[in-house]
Amino acid sequence: MNVSRSLTTVALAATAALSVTTLAVTPASAGGAPDLGTVGVDRLASLGTDGVTVHGTYACTVPDAAGASGPGTIGVELVSRSGASTSGTVAVTCDGTTRSWTVTASAVSLRHGQAWLHGYLEVPDAAGNTPWNLFDATVIVVGSR
């Protein structure tokens, strides 16, 4: 637990020390990710015979579209305490509307209990770039195979 607290403190100290520089050099056109939208994650994931299913909601827009619509992708990776992991993606529509999303991935050796979800939302722009935003959540995997 102390190691985690030390790392958090170091990360916060590094962020504070770099914040002025970061703000000065990260406009969206210089490689910084624009705010593409928001992603919510349901805290319960279901484990079944077809794999593990994670749900949530999202709202996103294409960064430079004349009409705010376009394709996007939500990708997730679930990692359990034992180190077992799985991942999956789903195509999403980015028009500013809040919608639901569902990813079902192979469960391999994933079992019930706490897992960490690491995810991304990516939305291609008109220039062919694919900016993305990251999100993290803790979920509880319920059910059994």
Residues 106 and 80 in one domain: yes
Residues 68 and 53 in one domain: yes
Q: How far apart are CA 125 and CA 60, in angstroms?
A: 12
Residues 11 and 38 in one domain: no
Helix (H) or strand (E) holding 46, with range, is: strand 44-48
Residue span of the structural domain in which 88 resides? 33-142
State residue 8's pLDDT score.
33
Q: How far apart are CA 15 and CA 21, in angstroms?
A: 10
SS3 16: helix
Residues 71 and 98 in one domain: yes
SS3 29: helix
Residues 47 and 61 in one domain: yes
Total number of domains in the chain:
2
Residues 138 and 72 in one domain: yes
- Domain CATH code at residue 47: 2.60.40.2550
Q: Answer yes or no: pTM beyond 0.75.
A: no
State residue 1's pLDDT score.
33
State residue 144's pLDDT score.
63
Q: Residue 91 CB: number of other CB atoms within 10 A?
A: 9
Residues 28 and 51 in one domain: no
State residue 70's pLDDT score.
66
Those residues of the chain that have pLDDT short of 50 are 1-33
Q: Residue 39 CB: number of other CB atoms within 10 A?
A: 21
Q: How far apart are CA 10 and CA 107, in angstroms?
A: 35
Residues 79 and 44 in one domain: yes
Q: Residue 122 CB: number of other CB atoms within 10 A?
A: 21
The residue written with tokens 């939302």 in the block is 121
